[in-house]
C-alpha cells in the first residue's frame, strides 16, 4: 500500500488531457512511493468540463479553479490553462500549501514569472514547470552525451520549431492570438527550445531577434502575437546559438529540430523521428565520415527501461507519463526539476528576445532580470 496523493487539474483542454494521461500511466511504468488520485478538474463550461472529467478518469469537475486550489483532497495543483492565467493560479496554489506543476510558459512576462517562482520558493512546496520535452528519451540522451563531453566544447546550438497552425488567415480569433493571454510565440513555443538551450549549453547573456505577424486581424480583432520570430543567442560560455519559431510554415505540423556542434562532434535531434539521435563523431575513421543514427531506446538510455523493448519506439504522450513519474517519485519532499525558477530564467531570455525584436538591437538578458547573469550551469 502506498500513500494517496490528490491531483487537481486546472484546465481540461489538450494539456489537461495530456497531464491526466500522465498521472494515470505513471504508476504502470514505474514503482512510485505514492498513488496519484485524479480528484478534480476545472474549466469554464460546466457540461464540457464534466464530460472531460468522465473521459479523463477524474472524480469530479468544477467551473471555478479556486475550488481546485482550496480542495482539501488536492495535494498537487496542475496548471493547464493559457499562459496569462498561470501566475495567479500558481500563487494562489502555493499560498494554500499545495505543490504545483505549471505548464509552460510560466507567465506572459518576466516579472509575473519571477513573482510566481518566488512565491513557490517562499512557500517551500515542490514546484515544477512543464518542459516535458526534456523527458523525451532522445533529448534526455542528447543532454547526457553533451554532459559526457562526446561533442567536446559546445561551439554552436541551434533550435527550430515550425508549425502551420496560424497560416490560414480565416482561423478565428482565440487566446493564442492575444498576447496578454497566450503570450508571444517567442515565449509560447520558444520556451521549450530556450529551456533545452539553457539545459544543454548554460546561461544566455545577450540576444538579437526579429518578428513578424502576417495576419494582423482575425474575427475583427487585432492580433498582437508574433507569427514568426528568429533570434541569435550568445551564451555565457562563449558558444553561439540560433533560434527560429514560426507558425506559418505550410505542411509543417509541429516540426522541431535541435542541433549542437562541438569541437569533437555534432548531435542532432529531429522531432519527426523522435526515437532517434544523430551523432557525428570526429573520432571516427575518415572513411566513416558522416553521422550514426542512434536508436534512443536501448536499455542503457534514459527512460528506456520504463518502456518497450528496443525497436518499438515511444511517442509524445510518453513525455507526460515520464514527467508525472519523475515528480511523483520524489513526492512529498521534492525537489522537483525543472522548477519554476527555471521557468522564470527561460522567460527572461524570451523577454530579451521580444525586446530585441521590438527595438531592433542586441539586448542583454540582465537588462530584463536587473541582475548579472548567474554562473553557468548545465545541470
Ligand X SMILES: NC(=O)c1ccc[n+]([C@@H]2O[C@H](COP(=O)([O-])OP(=O)(O)OC[C@H]3O[C@@H](n4cnc5c(N)ncnc54)[C@H](O)[C@@H]3O)[C@@H](O)[C@H]2O)c1
Nearest distance from C-beta of residue 83 to ligand X, angstroms: 4
* CB closer to ligand X, 41 vs 341: 41
Q: Does 317 bind ligand X (CB under 6 A)?
A: no
Phi-psi region of 251 (alpha: psi -120 to 50; beta: other; left: phi over 0): left
Contact call for residues 230 and 244 (beta carbons, < 8 A) = yes
Q: Does 291 bind ligand X (CB under 6 A)?
A: no
* CB closer to ligand X, 3 vs 221: 221
Nearest distance from C-beta of residue 266 to ligand X, angstroms: 26
Q: Binding residue for ligand X (CB under 6 A) from 8, 22, 82, 241?
A: 82
Query: What is the C-alpha R_g of the chain?
Result: 21
Distance, in Å, from the CA atom of 30 to the CA atom of 308, rounded to the nearest integer, reads 13
Sequence-separated (6 or more) residues with CB below 8 Å from residue 212: 226, 227, 228, 229
Name the closest residue to ligand X (Cβ): 13
Candidates 5-13, 147-155, 242-250, 325-333; binding stretch for ligand X (CB under 6 A) = 5-13
Q: Does 81 bind ligand X (CB under 6 A)?
A: yes
* CB closer to ligand X, 102 vs 304: 102
* CB closer to ligand X, 180 vs 358: 180
User: 3-10 and 34-42: which strand pairing?
Assistant: parallel
Contact call for residues 225 and 176 (beta carbons, < 8 A) = yes
Distance, in Å, from the CA atom of 67 to the CA atom of 65, rounded to the nearest integer, reads 5
CA angle 311, 252, 128 (to 5 degrees): 70
State which of positions 175-234 bind ligand X (CB under 6 A).
175, 181, 188
Distance, in Å, from the CA atom of 182 to the CA atom of 204, rounded to the nearest integer, reads 24
* CB closer to ligand X, 166 vs 279: 166
Q: Binding residue for ligand X (CB under 6 A) from 6, 36, 83, 126?
A: 83
Nearest distance from C-beta of residue 203 to ligand X, angstroms: 23
Candidates 11-19, 145-153, 236-244, 336-344; binding stretch for ligand X (CB under 6 A) = 11-19
Tell me, what DSSP letter sits at residue 375? P
* CB closer to ligand X, 41 vs 141: 41
Distance, in Å, from the CA atom of 346 to the CA atom of 327, rounded to the nearest integer, reads 20
Which stretches of the chain bind ligand X, using CB under 6 A?
A: 11-16, 43-44, 80-83, 85, 103-104, 130, 132, 175, 181, 188
Amino acid at each position: 500500500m502506498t500513500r494517496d496523493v490528490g491531483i487537481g487539474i486546472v484546465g481540461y483542454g489538450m494539456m489537461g488531457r495530456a497531464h491526466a494521461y500522465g498521472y494515470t500511466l505513471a504508476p504502470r511504468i514505474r514503482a512510485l512511493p505514492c498513488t496519484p488520485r485524479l480528484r478534480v478538474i476545472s474549466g469554464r463550461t460546466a457540461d464540457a468540463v464534466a464530460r472531460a472529467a468522465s473521459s479523463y478518469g477524474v472524480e469530479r469537475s468544477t467551473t471555478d479553479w479556486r475550488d481546485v486550489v482550496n480542495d482539501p483532497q488536492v495535494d498537487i495543483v496542475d496548471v493547464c490553462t493559457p499562459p496569462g492565467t498561470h501566475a495567479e493560479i500558481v500563487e494562489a496554489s502555493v499560498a494554500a500549501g499545495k505543490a504545483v506543476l505549471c505548464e509552460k510558459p510560466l507567465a506572459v512576462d518576466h516579472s509575473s514569472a519571477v513573482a510566481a517562482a518566488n512565491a513557490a520558493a517562499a512557500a517551500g512546496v515542490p514546484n515544477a514547470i512543464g518542459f516535458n520535452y526534456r523527458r523525451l528519451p532522445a533529448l534526455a540522451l542528447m543532454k547526457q552525451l553533451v554532459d559526457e563531453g562526446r561533442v567536446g566544447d559546445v561551439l554552436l546550438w541551434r533550435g527550430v520549431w515550425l508549425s502551420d497552425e496560424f497560416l490560414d488567415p480565416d482561423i478565428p480569433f482565440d487566446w493564442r492570438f492575444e498576447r496578454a493571454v497566450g503570450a508571444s510565440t517567442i515565449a509560447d513555443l520558444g520556451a521549450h527550445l530556450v529551456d533545452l538551450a539553457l539545459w544543454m549549453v548554460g546561461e544566455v547573456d545577450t540576444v538579437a531577434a526579429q518578428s513578424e505577424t502576417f495576419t494582423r486581424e482575425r474575427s475583427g480583432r487585432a492580433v498582437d502575437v508574433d507569427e514568426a520570430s528568429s533570434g541569435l543567442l550568445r551564451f555565457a560560455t562563449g558558444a553561439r546559438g540560433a533560434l527560429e519559431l514560426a507558425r506559418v510554415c505550410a505542411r509543417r505540423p509541429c516540426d522541431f529540430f535541435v542541433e549542437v556542434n562541438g569541437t569533437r562532434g555534432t548531435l542532432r535531434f529531429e522531432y519527426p523521428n523522435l526515437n532517434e539521435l544523430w551523432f557525428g563523431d570526429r573520432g571516427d575513421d575518415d572513411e566513416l565520415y558522416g553521422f550514426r543514427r542512434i536508436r534512443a531506446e536501448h536499455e542503457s538510455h534514459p527512460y528506456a527501461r520504463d518502456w518497450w523493448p528496443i525497436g518499438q519506439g515511444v511517442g509524445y504522450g510518453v513525455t507526460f507519463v515520464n514527467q508525472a513519474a519523475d515528480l511523483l517519485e520524489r513526492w512529498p519532499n521534492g525537489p522537483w526539476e525543472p522548477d519554476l525558477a527555471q521557468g522564470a530564467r527561460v522567460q527572461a531570455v524570451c523577454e530579451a528576445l521580444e525586446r530585441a525584436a521590438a527595438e531592433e538591437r542586441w539586448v542583454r538578458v540582465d537588462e530584463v532580470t536587473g541582475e548579472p547573469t548567474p554562473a553557468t550551469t548545465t545541470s
